[in-house]
Amino acid sequence: MSVDGDLSTQFLYEALSRGKREWELTFDAVPDLIFITDTQHTITRANRAMADRLGMRPSEVPGRKCYELFHEMGGVPGTCPFVKLLQDGEAPHVEMEERHLGGFFEISVSPLYNEFGEITACVHVARDVTERKKAEEYRLSLEQQLQQTQRLESLGVLSGGIAHDFNNILTIILGHCAMARTATAEEVQQHLAQIEAAGNRAADLCRQMLNYAGKSPLVQTEIALGVQVREVVSMLQPAFKKKVAFRYLIEPDIPLIKGDQGQVQQIIMNLVVNAVEAIADQKGTVTITLAGHTIGPDEASYDTFGNTIAPGSYVCLEVSDDGCGMSEVTRQRLFEPFFTTKFTGRGLGMSATMGIIKSHNGALQLSSAEGEGSTFRIFFPTCPAPCPRLGASADPEPPRPSRERLEGTVLLVDDEPELRQVGTVLLNGLGLTVITACNGRQALEIYRERSQEINLVLMDLTMPEMDGVEAYQELRREAVALPVLFCSGYGKKEVSPFIDSDPYAAFLAKPYNRDQMRVMLRKLREPATSSA
């Protein structure tokens, strides 16, 4: 062999050696956990980061099974991306928590092939994403705090309007009570009708407040947005200065949207409050526009952040004011968490509002300039398919004669003596015998003594000594099929986890009337009758 040939061989050998050393240095320098396995899940090589995380030396890792070291399991986990690769030829990214390694990891796999195209080994890369997961959890926590802060702040604005409406309702009720004392029998009936109408108005006001406060479960229902707009503005308007006028431009036959009523009310409330406060002490007008809008597949439409609004059918809610407006800097920062402004309007909860809009697959457009007012335009997707109408039963109750009599004995449980008295009269009027108890503990004692007589339990939620939920859980240990009807001034949210899967339990919101009670009791007793 010539001298030149020897030099070329030596140069090639040194280049290969240098390349091998550089590859090994690079392999060990990568902070991600990297290991190579054969088709039997045996580790053939691991980098220093992998060995350090396991508390081992790099030379101790090869020959061990990857599922023993990395997953600390005796067998291959069903979520293993390598198994997916071998079965389907796909190499998915998998995120999983490895408690013994102290964090969350994002794992990806890459196959190694032989000259015949067969998989002979696999390179696993496990990236520690624990800090990212913590940041996501912190962000979610902040969003929840923002929504709660927004609710508390806007409830302060609401309080004046609520007090105004309730005082008006109480004035009507007390006034008709006073007039009824000296009225004829025919006039008494007229006064009673007015008192009943005022009571129903108060009940509607309480329902709106419970929805807004999040005391009702988050239920996706069909919502008539025009009705919600008028309800919210009517509830808020007494708290606003008389200088602010409201103008409605609402198209007829607006399509329904699908969403959570309480959260949709929160959006409307925030936008209206902001618009009124931007006008401040000046005379001004808040214009609320509601119209259907369709974005075609070839139409380019963008939200205020530059994101494309998906083609489809929408209901557009537009709230505009002729107040102080916003500068470019304010517009850019308006949706930042905890951002407050120095201009007249306070910008209540816009970060939380944006989160609600996104959760409803909606979009927002904003236009504003200093001294020229502001316009917020919200796109709500229309309801894609029939869903339960708000306030309506998914299974409508067929009409029954209002004089239908029921039979049996009811255990009525409530800590308010007046409500026990009213409830007893109402239930007696339906044909039922009534036994009363003042709390859950007394109800249990009575039921254990007279279980053969009692056909149904009608129970309040919040009571001293033992509340309704605790009493219900105790009753279920003794009587699985005993019908239990919860009646409460709070929403159903508190009892939903317990009764949603129980065919022998139901909820009826206070205040209720005789017909509502008759329907609920009959419906609740039907499963017990059919299973007998």
Encoding tokens for residue 123? 């390179």
Confidence (pLDDT) at 512: 79
Q: Per DSSP, what are the bridge partners of residue 410?
A: 434, 456
CATH number of the domain at 138-381, please?
A: 3.30.565.10
pLDDT over 70 for what percent of the chain?
Answer: 78
pLDDT of res. 317: 95
Two tokens at 288?
Answer: 């609320």
Between 271 and 531, the more confident residue is: 271
- Per the CB < 8 A criterion, the answer to whether 486 and 461 are in contact is yes
Contact 173, 195 (CB under 8 A): yes
In angstroms, rounded to a whole number, what is the distance separating the alpha carbons of residues 319 and 338? 23
What is the token pair recorded at 357? 């809009």
Q: How far is residue 132 from each of residues 6, 77, 99, 245, measured CA to CA in Å?
A: 55, 24, 16, 48
Choose among 287, 282, 268, 269: nearest CA to 156.
269
Please check the confidence at residue 392 and state whether its pLDDT lies above 50.
no
Q: What is the pLDDT of residue 457?
A: 93
Cα gap 402→417, rounded to integer Å: 27
pLDDT tens, position by position, 308-327: 999 999 999 999 999 888 88
Residue 525 to residues 399, 406, 486, 508, Cα–Cα distance (Å): 17, 10, 14, 14
Q: Per the confidence metrics, is the pTM higher than 0.85?
A: no
As assigned by CATH, the class of the 409-531 domain is alpha beta
Domain range annotation of the chain: 31-128, 138-381, 409-531
Q: What does the pLDDT look like over 327-352, one tens digit per residue?
A: 888 887 777 654 555 443 344 457 66
pLDDT at residue 448, rounded to an integer: 93
What would the mean pLDDT of 236-250 be, rounded to a whole number? 82
DSSP assignment of 456-520 equals EEEE-S--SSS-HHHHHHHHHHH-TT--EEEEESS-GGGTHHHHTT-TTEEEEESS--HHHHHHH
Instruction: Find, among 424, 330, 320, the residue nearest to 375 by Cα.
Output: 320
pLDDT grade for 391, boundaries at 50, 70 and 90: very low
**What topology does CATH give the domain 31-128?**
Beta-Lactamase (3.30.450)
